[in-house]
Amino acid sequence: MKINKHYSEISESYLFSTVAKKQREFSAAHPDREIIRLSIGDVTLPLAGAVVKAMHDAVDEMSTKEGFHGYGPEQGYEFLKESIRNYYAGHGVELAADEIFISDGAKSDLGNILDLFDKDNTVLVTDPVYPVYVDTNVMAGRKILYAPATQENGFLPMPDPAVKADIIYLCSPNNPTGAVYTREQLAQWVEYAKAQNAIILFDAAYECFVTEEGLARSIFEVPGAKECAIEFCSFSKIAGFTGTRCGYTVVPMALEREGVSLNKMWLRRQTTKFNGVPYVVQKGAAAVFTPEGMAEIQENLNYYRRNAQVIAQTLEECGIWYCGGKNSPYLWLKCPGGMTSWEFFDWLLDKAGVVGTPGSGFGSCGEGYFRLTAFGDAEKTKVAAQRLKEALKTL
């Protein structure tokens, strides 16, 4: 018996556990101080009424012999795939229902998709990066290259034709930086991928935050992307499904490598290693796209957008460089006073009782930067922004 030796090559991330530990220690030392967390990527608003009603109705169906649903299609029910197809059509992307696969979340599929690729492929990720892209490939023993995302390139690295890559991860709106690619920028990535015979794995989990004209919500807004990209999306951010678990992956029919359809491979993977998403959850997810659901969802998204504005305004008033926050729930700021990411973490906790996430935890190019999120409570976010402003006066 030989174990997968690559597991020992994954570097342990202590980012969020260290954040939690420092927070605990601070609370213990200062029991009177109220801490406000702007560190988490988790939502805080409850499920929308339309979703709640649809889930109740579905639970009731499951309680009768006539309405009971056993095994469903591994790739998801047609009613949900059809809703997603219409949602994409709404921003100008035509998909076939068979190109959409319902999953229990983008994180699962981002990891599992690697089953389709040989170990001997070079992976290109940005730095800073969502750690899952790196860890899932280290586990499989693949070589990883980094494209630096910096203040100079607006944290939106562009392809370097001199770099050879087979699998390219792009996340836009970006976690952690909140930077968003335009359609024209993505077109350059598509061109590069085609020239390299590479595949782009496009993480669109935060697409619902995009409002600005010209920014892409889907890589399939770019002509030709269907021949070189797979897109991952989720109900986690659009509809607060972080604890309800539903996402989807789009594998175009036109995507082939070595004469083989990637869509057919993924269908085979999912029918063999997956048994679909709960009927009750799929019914809840479909309700997101009803007129009532969409209206409620937009209210919730606007709530988070206002939080982002509150933080952004404060950063601007204080003259702190940042990106994100406009078409993204994340704000990525340059630590003031030349502080490192962890120095600013400690300073902000001490002076303002606010917890954020050190940028260096997402990669070496994140050093000196810091992530704040707009997913918190509105009143607390206002208090946090005010405290940040006051603290910065003392710097």
For residues 317-356, which are near its own copies according to CB under 8 A? none
The neighbouring-strand residues paired with 332 are 323, 371
Cis peptide before 252 (omega within 30 of 0): no
Q: How many residues bind its own copies (CB under 8 A)?
A: 74
- Applying CB under 8 A, among 204, 281, 352, 374 the residue interacting with its own copies is 281
Q: Is 378 in the site for its own copies (CB under 8 A)?
A: no
Query: Which residues, numbered 104-123, are part of the site for its own copies (CB under 8 A)?
Result: 104-105, 107-108, 111-112, 115-118, 120-121
The neighbouring-strand residues paired with 324 are 331
Contact assessment for residue 128 and residue 149, using Cβ atoms and an 8 Å cutoff: yes
Q: Is 46 in the site for its own copies (CB under 8 A)?
A: yes
Of residues 256 and 343, the one with the C-beta less far from its own copies:
256
Give the SS3 label for residue 62: helix
HEC profile of 333-348:
EECHHHCCHHHHHHHH
Please give the DSSP secondary-structure letter assigned to residue 124.
E
Query: Which residues, numbered 62-81, are part of the site for its own copies (CB under 8 A)?
Result: 62-65, 67-72
CA distance 272 to 246: 19
Length of the chain: 395
Query: Which residues, numbered 1-40, are part of the site for its own copies (CB under 8 A)?
Result: 1-5, 7-8, 10
What DSSP line would sit under 156-202, residue for residue?
Answer: -----TTS--SEEEEESS-TTT----BHHHHHHHHHHHHHHT-EEEE
Shortest Å distance, C-beta 28 to its own copies: 23
| Stretch binding its own copies (CB under 8 A), from 133-141, 150-158, 202-210, 329-337 | 133-141
- Applying CB under 8 A, among 20, 33, 59, 150 the residue interacting with its own copies is 59
Contact map string, positions 222 to 261, toward its own copies, x by CB under 8 A: ------------------x-xxxx-----------xx-x-
Contact map string, positions 135 to 164, toward its own copies, x by CB under 8 A: xx--x-------------------------
